[in-house]
Amino acid sequence: MATRIATTIPPPLQSRLRMPIDTVLFATTLALIAFGFWMVFGTSFFQSMDSAKMGNDPLYFVKLQAKGVIVGAVALWFTMRTGYWKWKQYAIPLMLATLIILCAVWPFHLPGLAIRENGAWRWFGHGALRFQPSELAKVTLVIYLAAMYARPGLRVRVFETGFLPPLIPAFLYFLLIEREPDLGTAMVLFLSAGTILIVAGARKRHIALFFGIGVLAVLLFGFGFGHRGGRMSTFVNPCINRDYGGDQVCNSLYAVGSGGLLGEGMGQGKQKYLLTQANCDFIFATIAEELGFFRSSLVIGCLLLIGWRGFRIALYTKDRFGSLLAAGIAAVISWQALINIAVATGSIPATGVPLPFISFGSSSMLFLMAGIGILLNIAQHPEGEPPQLQRRRV
Amino acid sequence: MAGRGTVPGETVKHRVRYSFGMIASLYGLLVLRMLYVQGVQGDRLKAEAEDNRKHTVTLAAHRGSILDRNLRPLAQSRYTGAVGFDPLTLVTESGDPRKAAMFEKRLKRTAEVGARLLSSTPEEMRRVLLTERDHYRTELAIRQATHPGETQTPTLTRADRKGLNRFVILRENVSLEVAQRVRAAGLMSIGVQDDTTRSYPNGRDVAQIVGLNPGGGDKSLNGLERSQAKWLDGIPGKAVSEMDKTGRPLPDTRHVLKQAREGYDVVTTLDADIQHLVCQEAAEVYRKYSPAGVSIIVVEPQTGDILAMSGMPDYDPETFLNDPVYRNESVKSGVLNASCLTHLFEPGSTMKAITIAAALDQKVISPERYFNCPGVITVDKRALRCDKHGGTGVHGSLNFEGILRQSCNIGSAKIGMEMGATRLYKGFENFGLFDKLDVQMPMFPRGRKIMFRPSDPREIMRQGRIARVAFGHSIGVTPLHVAMAYAALANGGKLMQPRLVAAVRDMDGKLLKTNAPKMLRQAVSAETAAIVERGLRAVVTSGTGKIAAVPGYTIAGKTGTAKLYKSNEFVGSFAGFLPASPDVKPRVVIYVMVDRPKGSYYGSDVAAPAFQHIAAQLARHLHMAEDDPQSVQYKTAIEKRKLQARGLAH
């Protein structure tokens, strides 16, 4: 409610309607990032210390993460200071640019720019200057869909002309990212797009159709055929099927279970030495192991808090674009966190997505922080674009 | 409103709440799921997780060495590692050109460094590596092809690789130095597997005594390796700790650490040099007379130490371990046993000295008592003859010295019959001939009282038996028994416990257990021993054992020729000691026994020369002072003359 009763604030020069910063959202984000540093260190120092490639530096991953956070902070500053309505006019160019980059990585494997790692084409860039286009897509897709469904005159309840056309590039996104392969991120994008559709007021039967297609696709791509065929059995009994790909999930379950209610104590986790993605996709396993049920529930609470602030901003923003944008960004963060935790606790079949703000990964950090910046900006302008600026532009 | 849905209004607002509600309830479900995993399953998962991380590593214990009296190794464990190669590290999973280049680089480096380490050429190394890699790849492909439903993608799972050899041996038996260099090179594809092998530097010389430990583990076949296993074997330690996926222990997770207790060294009384020359001599006799067996023992009389012990036929430990045919034959023919300890035989005339010593000690006869030898007498309706090289000899009237010198059967039979069974038995018993002579070797029999049971009245009645026993027939002993009895004569009548294991010490040389020389009993008085020694000297100076004489030294000894029961085969032997001057302590007792030689069979022909060779070499080897009075006088005179010639003496 604090953001609404802010009438006593002296009006700044550029906008009389500008509200103070959403401190709860901002502080929670910073707290999670700080906590993330500690967890990244705890889950990676032994690995980097043993690796000559990483300079035997226990802080190797922490330093990389710090770089991501610094770039992310700049991005956050920039997006927070930029009126969110400006993104509307760049929605389609951004969408197209992202599509081009995604295509460059897969299926074109653009030499010199597309980078393959661990058998997947997920990186774009050259040398150290690189990022994951799928992370960029999380932001640009949300901006694009919000801009499309907020367009005056678009009738979202009409299937052919309103509901469907903006979704065509979205499905291209899903396909390109799924084929990298990065099923986890594709799922996050899909669920977020679905959330935007719900918030945008689409018809229930259309939404049902959308999710139906998603479930079908996941069944087809995820469990239907190919090397992921054994996923279902490894999901049900990861520890029995250790040799058939259940190893990671089993180790993660062991970690979560070992934590018990009170946890092993910070830095006392053992399973992190066995988990191959301990500092990224499975960082929550170590959190649960070291903190225990009560305190790791607090971490979940913080993530929920960010989601709540996001949807709250969506609720109190009068501008439809801002509302959809805020809901979309909150959805991306929430779905990503949900999938990550669900995988770590063995609640859904394994698929790798980083835990927002905590997992190691500069791309994820950069675009998520940019997203938080946008959210903060929307929160500052509950009335939408200030009228004097609208006038000037006209 | 409902139809347009294009402006933000009530629809969107409740949809935002609905969306957040959905996400929040999913979070709630996850928290419940965590409560279930952590709260309900927590303890079970924690135990399982710890079990899964826990690994036990056995810390092998080094097996102790067997040493000779000068602490030279007779058996020792040495490091033999195997250098192997992991083909998986060179198997490319995909057609990615960058990966392929990386693998090619790795292959090149492995070939170059590996060739340098294992003294091969890079080309050869590369060829071997590629062959093995291709073999591995083929095996893997076969497995993937038979994998149900998994033909589409070339993803390797752990199950696919299970059972495939990831340690292709490139070199075996590498030294510790090479192993360390390979480890230090830090190659991804080449590793070392540690192992130890038992080596026997003295080969067949000590093979029967030391025995064999084929696997290098705690399973030994024979000899000291087997009987001293409780000392030689260390106690393996173990470490239980939690490990990460690469097999490194996790910090602060050591559950159990029990260091291995290294095995102890066993110090024997053997002298590797003496053992060698004795074995050479035994082999020479074996070659020359093709007997069924040759046994030679060298004993130090004062301590009972067995300095050397050889039994032909013997076996070669290296061939035994490597050649299964040879192994089978060796086991069947029983050459694994030390025949000096296990071979029971009728010793023959060498026992006359024992009979006489017992008779003198028990005052049955006096040194001046003469016995008449008519060449043949009849005892128990059976003729008993004296051999005189090729026919029946009439020795005439002889005292004990004459009986020994001429090896007169009838004389000693008469002495025996005069003693009677009980006293003769008592005399033999005092010399330890019926004792279990424990030298801490596996499988050895006691001397047998076969055909000689004085407790049985009928036996006592039968004078024929007593007569035969008196000159060494109708009684079963081992070569060690004879040697120890002669050692008692050489040691002023004191019978010593034969000693083969002198001490046990740990790796640092600290003595843990010492077997001090132990006197079993005073077999005969020192005076009696001196009198018998006089008779034994006469055997070598002017009797049947002349051939055993060594210039410069006085030798006491006795020949022995025993005819086997119901067969025209013989056992020739010679027992003796030196230096045997009255006032000098004998240094060594040597017993040579030739079982059923072909051609010549007299102890004086087959065994005495061997004794002579060994005695002559031992005299030099042990730096014995010359004690033959004639030789000493002669040499002193020569020395004096030399000095006189140089004007240094009167």
Instruction: Give DSSP secondary structure letters for A323-366.
Output: HHHHHHHHHHHHHHHHHHHHHHTTSS-----PPTTTSS-HHHHH
Question: b or e along A302-333 (b: 16 or more beta carbons within 10 Å of the residue's beta carbon)?
Answer: bbbbbbbbbbbbbbbbebbbbbbbbbbbbbbb
Helix (H, G, I), strand (E, B) or coil at A115: strand
Average pLDDT, chain B: 83
Out of A174-183, A240-249, B136-145, give the one with best mean pLDDT: A174-183
pLDDT given for residue B213 in this prediction: 82
% of residues, chain A, pLDDT over 90: 58
**Chain B residues 342-361 with CB within 8 Å of chain A:** none
Contact B157 A335 (CB under 8 A): no
> CB of B539 within 8 A of CB of B574?
no
3-state DSSP of B433-448: CCCCCCCCCCCCCCCE
pLDDT in tens, B501-512: 999 998 888 888
> CB of B386 within 8 A of CB of B394?
yes
pLDDT given for residue A142 in this prediction: 96
How far apart are alpha carbons A302 and A289 in whole angstroms? 18
B-chain residues near A328 (CB < 8 A): none
B158 Cα to chain A: minimum distance (Å): 5
> CB of B66 within 8 A of CB of B232?
yes
Contact A260 B43 (CB under 8 A): yes
Burial (Cβ within 10 Å: 0-12, 13-18, ≥19) of residue A89: exposed
pLDDT in tens, B206-251: 888 888 887 666 677 788 888 888 888 888 888 888 888 777 778 7
Indicate the domain borders of chain A: 41-383
B209 closest CA partner among B226, B197, B196:
B226
pLDDT in tens, B99-140: 778 888 888 888 888 888 888 888 998 898 888 888 888 887
Burial (Cβ within 10 Å: 0-12, 13-18, ≥19) of residue A183: buried
> CB of A341 within 8 A of CB of A353?
no
Contact B150 A300 (CB under 8 A): no
B-chain residues near A265 (CB < 8 A): none
Contact A270 B242 (CB under 8 A): yes
Q: Which residue has the higher pLDDT, B144 or B49?
A: B49
Residue B151 has pLDDT above 50, yes or no: no
C-alpha dihedral sign at B481, B485, B486, B488: positive
Contact B6 A198 (CB under 8 A): no
**How do B293-300 and B265-268 pair as beta strands?**
unpaired
**Chain B residues 2-61 with CB within 8 Å of chain A:** 2-8, 11-13, 15-20, 23-24, 26-27, 29-31, 33-35, 37-39, 41-46, 48-50, 52-53
How far apart are alpha carbons B530 and B549 in whole angstroms? 19
Domains of chain B, start order: 50-80+195-243+251-268 (3.90.1310.10), 84-189 (no CATH), 272-645 (3.40.710.10)
Cα–Cα distance list, B249 to A43, A88, B246 (Å): 16, 55, 9
Tallying the residues shown for chain A, one arrives at: 394
> CB of B47 within 8 A of CB of B219?
no
Contact A318 B8 (CB under 8 A): yes
pLDDT given for residue B275 in this prediction: 92
Contact B19 A198 (CB under 8 A): yes
How far apart are alpha carbons B432 and B615 in whole angstroms? 25
pLDDT given for residue A295 in this prediction: 95
Nearest to B42 among A260, A308, A345 (CB): A260
Lowest mean pLDDT among A12-16, B102-106, B522-526: A12-16
Extract the tokens encoding B129. 């590596």
A-chain residues near B245 (CB < 8 A): 273-274, 276
Measured in Å, how far apart are chain B's first and last C-alpha atoms?
152
Helix (H, G, I), strand (E, B) or coil at B299: strand
B245 to chain A: closest CA residue: A274
> CB of B512 within 8 A of CB of B505?
yes
DSSP string computed for B454-507 = TTSHHHHH-HHHHHHHHTT-S-BB-HHHHHHHHHHHHTTTEEEPPBSEEEEE-T
Looking at the complex, does the CB of residue B121 fall below 8 Å from at least one CB of chain A? no
Radius of gyration of chain A from its Cα atoms, rounded to whole angstroms: 21
Establish, for the pair of chains A and B, how many residue pairs have beta carbons separated by less than 8 Å. Answer: 170
Nearest to B8 among A296, A303, A320 (CB): A320
A-chain residues near B44 (CB < 8 A): 257
Mean pLDDT value across residues A61-86: 94
pLDDT given for residue A14 in this prediction: 47
**Chain B residues 57-96 with CB within 8 Å of chain A:** 93-94, 96
Mean pLDDT value across residues A217-244: 69
Looking at the complex, does the CB of residue B188 fall below 8 Å from at least one CB of chain A? no
How far apart are alpha carbons B294 and B613 in whole angstroms? 15
With left for phi above 0 and alpha for psi between -120 and 50, is residue B186 left, alpha or beta? left
Q: Which residue has the higher pLDDT, B645 or A72?
A: A72
pLDDT band at A192 (very low <50, low <70, confident <90, very high): very high
Extract the tokens encoding B16. 């935002």
Q: What is the ipTM of this complex?
A: 0.93
Q: Which residue has the higher pLDDT, A376 or B96?
A: A376
Mean pLDDT value across residues A93-116: 89
DSSP 8-class letter at B345: B
A contact test, residue of B6, B13, B43 with most A CBs within 10 A:
B6
Residue B89 has pLDDT above 60, yes or no: yes
Q: Which residues contact A249 (CB under 8 A, 6 or more apart)?
A: A234, A235, A238, A343, A346, A350
**Chain B residues 200-259 with CB within 8 Å of chain A:** 242, 244-245, 250, 253
Mean pLDDT value across residues A153-175: 91
A15 Cα to chain B: minimum distance (Å): 22
Nearest to B45 among A253, A293, A335 (CB): A253
pLDDT given for residue A85 in this prediction: 92
Contact B46 A257 (CB under 8 A): yes
Q: Which residue has the higher pLDDT, B483 or B143?
A: B483
How far apart are alpha carbons B588 and B591 in whole angstroms? 10
Nearest to A261 among B11, B20, B39 (CB): B39
pLDDT in tens, A333-380: 999 999 999 999 999 888 889 999 999 999 999 999 999 999 999 999
pLDDT given for residue B427 in this prediction: 87
Q: For the CA atoms of A73, A75, A79, A81, what is the dihedral angle to 10 degrees?
A: 60
Q: How far is CA A392 from the centre of its chain?
A: 35
Question: b or e along B528-552 (b: 16 or more beta carbons within 10 Å of the residue's beta carbon)?
Answer: bbebbbbbbbbbbeebbbebbbbeb
> CB of A137 within 8 A of CB of A102?
yes
> CB of B574 within 8 A of CB of B607?
yes
How far apart are alpha carbons B606 and B593 in whole angstroms? 9
Residue A278 has pLDDT above 50, yes or no: yes
Contact B44 A257 (CB under 8 A): yes
B-chain residues near A320 (CB < 8 A): 6-8, 12
Helix (H, G, I), strand (E, B) or coil at B520: strand
Helix (H, G, I), strand (E, B) or coil at B557: strand
Residue B30 has pLDDT above 90, yes or no: yes
Burial (Cβ within 10 Å: 0-12, 13-18, ≥19) of residue B378: exposed
Extract the tokens encoding B621. 């080897």
Helices (H), B572-624: 603-606, 608-621
**Chain B residues 543-602 with CB within 8 Å of chain A:** none
B-chain residues near A293 (CB < 8 A): 34-35, 38-39
pLDDT band at A283 (very low <50, low <70, confident <90, very high): very high
A287 Cα to chain B: minimum distance (Å): 12
> CB of B17 within 8 A of CB of A213?
no
Ordered strands of the B556-563 beta sheet: B305-312, B293-300, B588-595, B570-578, B556-563
Mean pLDDT value across residues B60-74: 88
Residue B174 has pLDDT above 90, yes or no: no
Helix (H, G, I), strand (E, B) or coil at B237: strand
Cα–Cα distance list, A58 to A45, A51, A273 (Å): 4, 10, 14
B632 closest CA partner among B576, B579, B572:
B579
Helix (H, G, I), strand (E, B) or coil at B300: strand
Extract the tokens encoding B107. 């292959």
B49 to chain A: closest CA residue: A254
3-state DSSP of B172-235: EEECHHHHHHHHHHCCCCEEEECCEEEECCCHHHCHHHHCCCCCCCCCCCCHHHHHCHHHHCCE
How far apart are alpha carbons A298 and A293 in whole angstroms? 9
How far apart are alpha carbons B606 and B610 in whole angstroms? 7
How far apart are alpha carbons B87 and B101 in whole angstroms? 17
DSSP 8-class letter at B87: G
Extract the tokens encoding B57. 């590593």
Nearest to A347 among B33, B42, B244 (CB): B33
Question: b or e along A214-230 (b: 16 or more beta carbons within 10 Å of the residue's beta carbon)?
Answer: beebbeebbeeeeebbb
Residue B341 has pLDDT above 90, yes or no: no
Q: Which residue has the higher pLDDT, B648 or B415?
A: B415
Q: Which residue has the higher pLDDT, A164 or B376?
A: A164
- Residue B463 main-chain phi, psi, to 5 deg: -65, -30
DSSP 8-class letter at B628: -
Mean pLDDT value across residues B606-629: 88
Q: Which residue has the higher pLDDT, A138 or B393?
A: A138
Q: Which residues contact B476 (CB under 8 A, 6 or more apart)?
A: B344, B345, B346, B447, B448, B450
pLDDT band at A391 (very low <50, low <70, confident <90, very high): low
B-chain residues near A260 (CB < 8 A): 38-39, 42-43, 46
Q: Which residue has the higher pLDDT, A279 or B158?
A: A279
